[in-house]
Chains A and B, each alone.
Chain A
Amino acid sequence: MSRFLIKRLFSATLTLFAVSVLTFLMFFALPRDPVTGMCPKNCNPERLERVRDDLGLNDPLVSQYAGYMKGIVTGRDLGSAQGGRCDAPCLGWSYVTNEAVSDTIARVLPVTLSIVIPAAILWLLLGVGLGMVSALRRGTWLDRMAIGFSLTGASLQLYFVGAVLLLVFVYNLRLLPVPSYTSIFDNPAKWASGLVLAWVALAFLFSAIYARLSRAQMLETLSEDFVRTARAKGLAKPTVYGRHALRAAITPVVTIAGLDVGGALGGTVITETTFGIQGLGRTAVDAVRSGDLPTIMATVLIAAVFVVMANVLVDLLYAAIDPRVRLR
């Protein structure tokens, strides 16, 4: 088990390293001058040169990359123009927002977490539950309803569902306030009412996919010999379906869920745009629009960290669910 874990962690680190190098090259080494986006329109050449020097853009690429990485691990000195000492994890200084990138991230990351985590709980429960029930009640009206729901949901677009939800619940019925983010520690009720539409929209679309997938998996598992054996030796239906069959059917769902949740944590760009909530995804989009390279770099890296971490977690869950995996 520990060997398995070490192997996975090693390959995850390697992937993260490659992502960081690629992103660095893509954004810092491309011909577009990173400085133009960082200072107002009437920049004189001297100021541009100074900014370039501050950013270390005149240094060789390798040492720029090393400096950036060193900043993340130990913090580094950025010079007075960039807020001076920057503690670890230092992600650089943004000339567009005039603050340390790590401060921006610390502000917007809780927003994305608040959107994704409740939505993920909702969509997993709803999707897997619906899939299981419709597999067990195959051919009934419940099953047909579930199939219809998942087919429709899988073809709908998040921004369209979001727009309809907004139209109905906010503008017409006036049941909910215009979506916004409040910290859960300040006011939990306002936190929930401001984000509930985003949860519902995300959960609706994702649970459709999960219902479909877990129904198919469950149907396949139910036709396996071990299920019949378990029933034949006199185990009760709930035990067989809930413990034996569910465990076998859920593995592919875990893989997809890991990828989806990991990806969503890196920024729910569409959701945030639709509902006008400033999270990680929106911040990344704004950074791209204004050419704010340190922020782009940071958001891409964070998104990649989430995806890679989710992959490792999925492998660990696999090992917990299916003991055969540990032997590889």
Chain B
Amino acid sequence: MSLSPVEGVALAEIESGTGSGGPGVKGVVGRSPGQLAWLRLRRDRTAMVSGALLVFFLLLGLAAPLIEMAYGVGPREQFQKLLDGFGMPLGYAGGVTGDHWFGLEPGLGRDIFIRLIYGLRTSLFIAFAAALITATIGIVLGALAGYLGGWLDAVINWITDLTLAMPFLIIALALTPTLTLRFYGERGQVSSAFGVGVLIAVFAIFGWTSTARLVRGQVIALREREFVEAAKASGAGLGHMLFRQLLPNIWAPILVSFSLAVPQFITSEAALSFIGVGLSDETPSFGRMIYRSLDFLQTDPAYVFFPGITIFALVFAFNLFGDALRDALDPKSSR
């Protein structure tokens, strides 16, 4: 992203002005950069399909309790009767039946479908919350570092380097039990909301660096422009400068990085719960399910595929949509 987004948008305006109908037919219609991006996004078939898939996933996650009512099975119900003597589900493909669409978990006999729906809810909630928080931290720190420069820039840069040098997985793994112990003591019953909160906090501590770097670079590119000088000359304060003058000019790359951060957090959440951080076994989660399924790879191979394919589809849709969004907002980028 060597070009400033302002130039990219200006150029797009010229392009689509001549492209859609031509000025001779309808005359030139004035459109804001946002409207132009929306038009381009609507014309992009990949964006529409992946967007629809995302809306579907979001609805599934939001409506999880309703689906539970309609489906008639809860995420913690165990169906031991449908397992054989070794704890393996009876029937084909891990016990797939009309009552249990994706089969049952070996051992505990919980329904995989409803656990996936609730896992989706957990995963999406954590990812969106983490992406929002890290974007906020990254925007504020990056804008401050880029605009003010000097020693503040040096310090923020150094903190960024430091954060990147910490091994994220291991520290997250070590920090969660310590935090839990601090809040609950040795014998406290840890609520699942607390586990979710800890995960989001860990992401907030480690995840802001890329946004901060992006915003800093963009702000530095804009810092010497005339409109900044003009605002400074008319006595604009720091807050006005950052959030009213600079930020509106760089929202496009921020939006793109946000949309690509969400699938990253989904992946990280699954990875963390895969190695057993944060969420207890009670809370349905993709990573936890796949970790459990590894033990049954030989005896019940179907078990690994349901969560594995669901998380792939989710991340795939997010990635496709993020790419399409980038194309729409920054038509000059060639990816």
Q: Is the CB of B165 within 8 A of A155?
A: no
The A interface is mostly helix, strand or loop, or mixed, namely helix
Q: Is B48 an interface residue (CB 8 A)?
A: no
1/0 contact trace for A208-225 toward B, CB 8 Å? 000010011001100100
Q: How far is the CB of A286 from chain B (nearest CB, A)?
A: 10
* Stretch of A59-67, A180-188, A295-303 with 4 or more beta carbons under 8 angstroms from chain B: A295-303
Q: Is A31 an interface residue (CB 8 A)?
A: yes
Q: Which residues of B contact A30 (CB under 8 A)?
A: 178, 182
| Identity of the chain A residue whose Cβ is nearest the Cβ of B313 in the assembled complex | A155
Q: Is B304 an interface residue (CB 8 A)?
A: yes
1/0 contact trace for A156-189 toward B, CB 8 Å? 1111100110110001000000000000000000
| Identity of the chain A residue whose Cβ is nearest the Cβ of B320 in the assembled complex | A151
* Stretch of A91-99, A105-113, A190-198, A268-276 with 4 or more beta carbons under 8 angstroms from chain B: A268-276
Q: Is the CB of A281 within 8 A of B169?
A: yes
A303 and B167 in contact (CB under 8 A), knowing A155-B312, A220-B334, A311-B161?
yes
The B interface is mostly helix, strand or loop, or mixed, namely helix
A163 to B175, CA, bound (A): 28
A126 to B276, CA, bound (A): 32
Q: How far is the CB of A88 from chain B (nearest CB, A)?
A: 23
| Identity of the chain B residue whose Cβ is nearest the Cβ of A154 in the assembled complex | B319
A154 to B318, CA, bound (A): 11
Q: How far is the CB of A205 from chain B (nearest CB, A)?
A: 10
| Identity of the chain A residue whose Cβ is nearest the Cβ of B308 in the assembled complex | A160
A285 and B275 in contact (CB under 8 A), knowing A32-B182, A152-B316?
yes
Q: Is the CB of B334 within 8 A of A288?
A: no
Q: Could you list some 26 contacts between A and B, CB below 8 A?
A: A14-B158, A15-B158, A16-B165, A19-B165, A30-B182, A151-B316, A151-B320, A155-B315, A157-B311, A160-B304, A160-B311, A163-B290, A163-B293, A167-B297, A167-B301, A219-B335, A266-B167, A269-B169, A269-B170, A270-B271, A284-B170, A289-B276, A300-B174, A303-B170, A307-B164, A311-B161
Chain A residues within 8 Å of B, Cβ to Cβ: 11, 14-16, 18-19, 22-23, 26-27, 30-32, 151-152, 154-160, 163-164, 166-167, 171, 212, 215-216, 219-220, 223, 259, 263, 266-267, 269-270, 273-274, 281, 284-285, 288-289, 296, 299-300, 303-304, 307-308, 311
